[in-house]
Amino acid sequence: MLTVRAPATSANLGSGFDVFGVALGTPADVVRVERAPETTITVTGAGSQYIPEDPAKNTVGAVAEALDAPAHIRIDKGVRPSSGLGSSAASAAAAAVALNALYDRGRSREELVPIAAEGEALVSGEAHADNVAPSLLGGFTVVTDDSVTQVDASVPVVACLPEISVSTRDARGVVPQSATMDEVVTTVGNAATLTVGMTRDDPVLVGEGLTDDIVTPERTKLIDGYDRVREAALEAGATGVTVSGAGPGILAVCHRRDRRAIASAMVDAFDAVGVESRAYQTAVSDGATLYR
């Protein structure tokens, strides 16, 4: 039996829609695999009651098929589904690493990215790699149609998860189909600022680079209390705030010393609008870890 821990992730980061992603230190999924004649899946943990165990309907089943690696697979969910923290990606990334090792397939982490992304297609309808890439590789990742670029980073963040649900499919449905040239130029500048900030582990530059006037404003409408939570985080010291992935999770970038105050402020702000939430005080961190 092999065990892999794969981290939650935050994709888009405001200005990097469908391109940027980061691995988070916590929460994480843990996947255990052992060889079997055919694939079976058991799911426990956060939101497990909403996750199908039929291999044909589970991201992990798609990964097992792609690697031709049938196994008994046990998923312990630490990342709640429909959270905006890459729940399905964490399971897919963990399974890809575990099954690759179990059957000695010899694939590099980079080669596992498109395989894990195919599992994502079961959830979002399309094979996006902006969550699976950082969950596999760690740090900050930039995904294009034909490449993945990774940079180690350790920028402090707070990820606040409200007890509401936003499906990836719904969140993609509100994405604008066009943008003005001014909006595009501004977004490119912000994305470049964020990228430089990641290479320097500079939370000020990263926070500034989160700003996006194209996709994020539409997605915030799906999250009750977003504006109030954002303002509370900024007042408590956050250098920037945005929607994590498709939402409803909210990501605040900050200095390490301010994480506790920001976490408390965000939870209190959600509470003020009648929404329960929890906040993870974490940082951009490592990718999936294999335990033999």
238 is in an annotated binding site: no
Token readout for 53 is 């165990």
126 is catalytic: no
Radius of gyration of the chain (CA): 18
User: Rounded to the nearest 10 degrees, how much is the dihedral formed by the CA atoms of 201, 202, 208, 214?
Assistant: -10
225 is in an annotated binding site: no
Token readout for 50 is 């909403």
90 is in an annotated binding site: yes
Contact 102, 34 (CB under 8 A): yes
Euclidean distance between CA atoms 211 and 179, whole angstroms: 15
Catalytic residue among 9, 120, 208, 239: 120
89 is in an annotated binding site: yes
2 is in an annotated binding site: no
15 is in an annotated binding site: no
Euclidean distance between CA atoms 292 and 289, whole angstroms: 10
Catalytic residue among 39, 168, 195, 282: 168
64 is in an annotated binding site: no
Contact 20, 140 (CB under 8 A): yes
**DSSP E strand boundaries for the chain:** 2-11, 20-35, 40-45, 71-77, 140-143, 148-151, 156-162, 240-243, 250-253, 277-283, 289-291
274 is in an annotated binding site: no
109 is in an annotated binding site: no
Strand 40-45, strand 140-143: pairing: unpaired
Euclidean distance between CA atoms 214 and 205, whole angstroms: 20
38 is catalytic: no
Token readout for 40 is 């079976």
Residue burial 252-282, b: 16+ Cβ < 10 Å; e: rest: bbbeeebbebbbebbbebbeeeebebebbbb
86 is in an annotated binding site: yes
83 is in an annotated binding site: yes
Residue list for the binding site: 80-90
Catalytic residues: 120, 168
Q: Which residues are annotated as a binding site for ATP?
A: 80-90
